[in-house]
Amino acid sequence: MKAVQHAAHGGLEVLELVDLPDPGPGPRDVVVEVHCAALNRLDLLQREGPALLPGFRLPHVAGMDVAGVVVARGSEVDAPGLGDRVVVKAGVHCGECAACRRGEDRRCGAVQVIGGSRPGGYAERCLVPASHAFLLPDHVGFEEAATVPTTLSTAWRALIDTGRVRAGEVVVIHGPGSGVSVVGIQLAKHAGATVIVTGRSEEKLERARKLGADHVLGERDPGLVDTVRELTGGRGADLVLNHVGPALFPLSVAVLGMEGRLVHCGTTTGARVELNLPSLYHMGIQVLGAGPQGYRGFADMLAHYWEGSYEAVVDSRFPLAEAAAAQERLASGEAFGKVLLCP
Ligand SMILES: [Zn+2]
pLDDT beyond 90 at 276: no
CA of 104 relative to ligand 1 center, distance in Å: 8
CA of 132 to the centre of ligand 1 (A): 14
> With 90 as the cut, is the pLDDT of residue 270 above it?
no
Span from the CA of 55 to the centroid of ligand 1 (angstroms) = 14
In this predicted structure, what is the pLDDT of residue 269? Answer: 87
| Interatomic CA distance for residues 21 and 1, integer angstroms | 6
Report the range of poorest mean pLDDT among 70-74, 165-169, 213-217, 293-297.
293-297
* 8-state DSSP, 147: T
List the domain boundaries for the chain: 2-147+312-341, 151-289
Q: pTM of this prediction?
A: 0.95
Please give the pLDDT value at position 114. Answer: 98
- What pLDDT, in 10s, does the model give residues 114-143? 999 999 999 999 999 999 999 999 999 999
pLDDT value of position 271: 87
Residue 29 has pLDDT above 90, yes or no: yes
The residues placing their C-beta within 5 Å of ligand 1, an ion, are: 93-94, 97, 100, 108
| Confidence at residue 267, expressed as pLDDT on a 0 to 100 scale | 84
CATH of domain 151-289: 3.40.50.720
Q: How many CB atoms lie within 10 A of CB 185?
A: 29
Task: Find the mean pLDDT for residues 12-37.
Answer: 98
Pairwise CA distance, residues 214 & 125, whole Å:
42
Tell me the C-alpha distance between 297 and 90, whole Å. Answer: 15
Q: What is the pLDDT of residue 252?
A: 95
As assigned by CATH, the class of the 2-147+312-341 domain is alpha beta
From 239, 102, 126, 111, select the one nearest 184 (Cα to Cα). 239
Query: What would the pLDDT profile of 209-241 be if each residue is shown by its tens digit?
Result: 999 999 999 999 999 999 999 999 999 999 999
Say how many Å lie between the CA of residue 97 and the centre of ligand 1.
4
Q: What is the overall mean pLDDT for the chain?
A: 96
pLDDT of amino acid 54: 94
Distance 70 CA to ligand 1 centre (A): 25
CA gap 36, 275 in Å, rounded: 41
Cα(129) to centroid(ligand 1), Å:
14
